[in-house]
Amino acid sequence: MTAPTAVAPVDAPAAASAAVLTHEQILNLLPHRYPFALVDRVIAHEPGRSAVAIKNVTLNEPQFQGHFPGRPLMPGVLIVEAMAQVGGLIVTQMPDLPKGLFVFAGIDGVRFRRPVVPGDQLRIRCELLSLKRRRFGKVRAEATVDGELVCSGELMFSLVD
């Protein structure tokens, strides 16, 4: 008979990652669906100001079949899309905005610092920089893995009719 395995105590960073918005709540706020729903949970959120979210990167995601066989890397465009979805969560709960679909209007100064691979956990932070005429907005976004900057830039969006 083997001795029971000890369970490690919960550390502070893991406890700090409790969901503010669950995956189910995110699906009610954003229009994206599999395979394009790229936000797993939100761990900090100030509607109309900022959000911090988690994207767990797993080998069974469809893009890894071809990007790249033998060396799977998360495509940069999907990292930027995940950042945009977090930005979308900032505005979806602002009561004074018209309902509708917000889409990309521009991407400025985006830089990729290191590859993202299956097993990584992206921590995405977005902050609303401006909102004009209740239709056009800009967020500053950054994605990190284990505290190391992976991608950053400014993302613009507009409301389509």
Tens digits of residue pLDDT in 55-70: 999 999 999 999 999 9
Cα dist from 126 to 10, 94, 123, 130, whole Å: 27, 15, 10, 12
Domains of the chain, by residue range, sit at: 18-160
Fold of 18-160: Thiol Ester Dehydrase; Chain A (3.10.129)
pTM above 0.85, yes or no: yes
> pLDDT tens, 21-77?
999 999 999 999 999 999 999 999 998 899 999 999 999 999 999 999 999 999 999
Cβ-contact 124, 141 below 8 angstroms:
yes
Active site residues: 67
